[in-house]
Amino acid sequence: MEPRQRFAVNLRSARQRKQISQEELGFRCQLHRTEISLLERGGREPRLGTLVKLCAALDTSPDELCAGIRWNVKSERFTFKR
């Protein structure tokens, strides 16, 4: 699994907990629905500004949206926790 795939799972879960559509989330973030879809499918990693917008719109933290993604300094690889 890649970091963007783990992020995608976390983003979709957070949006579904808020019971809002991709279109509504996009509206709240001033992003197009297709951008939200790309992020939720793991097709794109968010930029910092996008991450901040998503967190505000979902009333959550970057920690929650990035949960399970860790950088291992020794192996120079990402590691993932469920």
Question: pLDDT tens, 1-44?
Answer: 789 999 999 999 999 999 999 999 999 999 999 999 999 999 99
Q: Is the pLDDT of residue 80 over 90?
A: no
Q: Is the pLDDT of residue 74 over 80?
A: yes
Q: Is the pLDDT of residue 76 over 70?
A: yes
Q: pLDDT at position 2, please? A: 86
Question: pLDDT tens, 40-64?
Answer: 999 999 999 999 999 999 999 999 9
What does the H/E/C string look like for 14-66? Answer: HHHHHCCCHHHHHHHHCCCHHHHHHHHCCCCCCCHHHHHHHHHHHCCCHHHHC
Tokens 């500004």 — which residue?
49
Structural domains in the chain, CATH included, are: 3-77 (1.10.260.40)
Dihedral angle over CA of 49, 52, 58, 61, nearest 10: 150
